[in-house]
A and B are shown apart, each in its own frame.
Chain A
Amino acid sequence: MQADTRENIILELENVGCLKRLRIEFKPGLNIIKAPNASGKTTIIRGFSCMFSDKIPPSHVLSLDELNGRIRVHYDGRIYEKTLRRTPSGQVMAQGDMLPFTDPRAFDACVALAETGVVHRITGGNVVFRKYLEELSYGNIYSAVINASQELINKYGRKLAGPSFRNFEMLPLLLTELTDLHIRRDQIKQKIEDLKSSHESRIQEIHDQIEKKSSTLSREETHLSQLTKNLSLEKEREEQLQELLNLTDRSSEVAISINKGIASSREKQERLKMEIETQTRLVESLKSDLEALRDLLKKEEETGPRGLRDLERRLENINKMIILKEEEIQRAERFPPDDKEYPGRLVVDVRSEILRKIEWLEKVTEYFQEKYMRRMTSARRRFNSNVTRAFRELGLKGFENVFLDQNFALHVMREGSIRQPIETLSASEKLTISLILMLAAKETFLPDFPLFIVDELTLSYDPERFWRIMNYIKRRVPYVIVTSLTSSLTGKPEVIHEP
């Protein structure tokens, strides 16, 4: 009914493939393009397809020996025109209009061209069918987002496994090592302080000993001086007594008394001499001790505390290690100022930023995976339902059901629910199933697309079955275009219309 209200489609081709100039008209219903081999049947399909799909490269359309070509379509009261131009570099450019029902999926769902591998689709396994339905249901958009998201997650993952972030992971260890170095430095500093303090005490002690010794020496020297003075006085006394004795009678009692005095003085002098000798030794000993103490003081002052240099060397080394460790920590904490991606930024901030990006991308991946699954499941169910309806309505003998399972593997069920492997089907059966699957795809995904085109699939085909399918398609699609080989020698394609 819908086809009855539609106008004819006029297709004009100029320098397209082997056709210099051609004007043909498609009416609503079945249009059969009849022509012998190599007369341009497929060229017509290619040229027409250019007006609603970008799947055919312009270089496959323009005549090889021409610089310019043109495709013009009269549709629904308007003219749509596309020009083809060969550039000096040999590239073919196409410019112009597209038909209003243009759809990038139309070529795969509505044009059964032998070269597009329509049969290959059913023999190619579940991967081919999954891809086919992905493209027609736009599931490929969701899988593209999933793939892009996964690639980014991997990219960020690789980034986090890079040297900058690996160093950052070492930060707690580096900080512990720095703390250890600080503790060791403090311990050495304390040892140095203790050593210096102990040395100062030792110096002070020697000073005290020197002072004490000096004081003793001074006292003992005074005592020695006093003894020497006493001895001198005693000698004078003896001399005076001797002089006095010389003036007296030696036998007199006075003389006896003076002699006693002289003897006593001499005894005293002897005692004093012994005392002086002892005292002199004592003073000498004190002087020697004092000298030794002064030497010791000088030596202690000159050499300083024992082990101090060693400790100072260790302190210096630890200070160097602390500086190096702090630099290492700084590098682990922050990107260098000349870093291309994150100049001068804190690694912890960048790491957290990347982790949040990954978190978001993982959620996005999950969201699109769910959408993809739902879309593909729905697409497969609707597709199977249309396939089942087509087989039922066509009433083709021998087939009970044809469907895609959840893994997108095609199952052909013979009567009695016997599964027949695809590769064991005859060429004619393969073509039949291919055409029905394609029509089901069109009805599922492009129900309003007005064309269905079948190119030269009539070869090695059961004519009765082929035309039954064509008539079925004709009832569901406004314009059906079929090419058919003839043995006519006129060479020019002609369109036979069957309303």
Chain B
Amino acid sequence: MSNTGNKDSLRQIPYIKELERVAVNLLRKNQNSKERLKEILEEYASRYAREYNIRA
């Protein structure tokens, strides 16, 4: 039961589906795009910090 709860909460991570799609597309095209991947993660992390700060 706790595992199910954990999976549900993981699915509710903001932008996670969008990030997964972007990251998979990027790395399937070029597996050496590690720096670009980090930039993308930083952009999403900043967006989360910004938007969830306002909500808080």
Contacts and interface: CB of A to CB of B under 8 A. Distances in A.
The answer to whether A binds B is yes
Nearest to B19: A364
B10 A145 contact: no
B45 A152 contact: yes
Given A145-B41, A357-B49, A364 B24 contact: no
A144 interface: yes
B45 A357 contact: yes
B24 A148 contact: no
A140 B28 CA distance: 10
A149 B11 CA distance: 17
Given A152-B41, A356-B53, A370 B48 contact: no
Contact of A141 (B14, B23, B38, B41): B23
- Secondary structure at the A interface, as helix, strand, loop or mixed, is helix
A229 B27 CA distance: 128
Contacts of B41: 145, 148-149, 152, 361, 364
B31 A144 contact: yes
A356 B52 contact: yes
Among all A-B residue pairs, the 9 with the closest Cβ atoms: A357-B45, A356-B49, A360-B48, A141-B27, A353-B49, A367-B10, A363-B13, A148-B38, A148-B37
B45 A141 contact: no
A104 B52 CA distance: 39
Chain A residues touching B, range? 20 to 34
Contacts of B45: 152, 356-357, 360-361
A141 B24 contact: yes
A367 B53 contact: no
15 contacts: A104-B31, A144-B34, A145-B23, A145-B27, A149-B41, A151-B38, A152-B42, A353-B49, A353-B53, A354-B49, A360-B13, A361-B41, A364-B41, A366-B10, A367-B16
A138 B14 contact: no
Contacts of A138: 24, 27-28
